[in-house]
Amino acid sequence: MENLNKLIGERIAKLRKENHMTQAMLAEKLNISVRHCSAIECGTARLSIEKLIEVSDLFHVTLDYLILGRRSSNKYIDLFPDSLIQSLQSGTDAELDLFKQYIQMFHKIYSSKKDSK
């Protein structure tokens, strides 16, 4: 269980840093002490299920990711960096439409190159 707590803590620390948050900022959002937040990230303490849910909502990730390190059951989704997935999950409709256009353009270019071979 210690190893699992450490891995969960590492993932939380990574998400916190990617979102430009300090431990104090995260602790305030979770209504826990900075000391407890630090202990969680080090793997020497753990969060309740309720707090894990709060973390997953805060960073737009699944509990599956926090606990097991898997972002989805789709292996192709796991090819994308965490920061991209988070941007997509918290993006505006206009940003998501732009992303769809990029993907469609990539697919069109890829398909045309594949067909020309």
C-alpha distances (whole Å) from 97 to each of 9, 25, 74 are 34, 31, 22
Contact 52, 67 (CB under 8 A): yes
Q: Are residues 3 and 28 in the same domain?
A: yes
Express the helix, strand and coil content of the chain in percent, nearest 5 each: 75, 0, 25
Confidence of residue 117 (pLDDT cuts 50, 70, 90): low
pLDDT tens, residue by residue, 23-60:
999 999 999 999 999 999 999 999 999 999 999 999 98
Confidence of residue 2 (pLDDT cuts 50, 70, 90): low
Radius of gyration, CA atoms only, the chain: 18
100-111 average pLDDT score: 86
- Domain extent, residue 95, equals 80-117
Tokens describing residue 29: 């959002």
pLDDT tens, residue by residue, 57-105:
999 888 988 998 876 656 666 677 777 777 777 888 888 888 889 888 8
Q: Are residues 17 and 63 in the same domain?
A: yes
DSSP summary character for residue 77: G
CATH code, domain carrying 18: 1.10.260.40
